[in-house]
Amino acid sequence: MNNNRFECHASAKYIRTSTHKSRRVLKQIQGKSYSEARLILEFMPYRVCKTIIKILESALNNISQKTNDEIDKQELIIKEAFVNKGPVLKRFQPRAQGRAFPIRKPTCHITIKLEV
């Protein structure tokens, strides 16, 4: 870390959404300031935005504990925001004539890194 450069991250695992849907939202906020990203997420129509806001707030709390002083939210930058694939929940839907139709319910792990 450089002079007064703090970096912190927060992650959430086993989120019940696909990586494609999460990545679509995370690309929009990467490189933006905290307050700008928060504003973008609040007005996006996607379900995963609520989860990403919680992760962003957690990262903010982590970095404020690390620095032990008040942080200007305009100076906070989202350095990295990425999503990894999690395990797939496999379920079956009964169909006609005793057949079973597989249903795959994907999960993902979301990580956000902030820098002051």
- Please check the confidence at residue 5 and state whether its pLDDT lies above 80: no
> With bands split at pLDDT 50, 70 and 90, how would you rate the model's confidence at 71?
confident
Say what the pLDDT of residue 84 is: 96
pTM (2 d.p.): 0.87
Q: Which domains can be identified in the chain, with CATH numbers?
A: 7-115 (3.90.470.10)
Say what the pLDDT of residue 1 is: 44
**Among residues 83, 82, 74, 84, which one has the least CA distance to residue 32?**
74
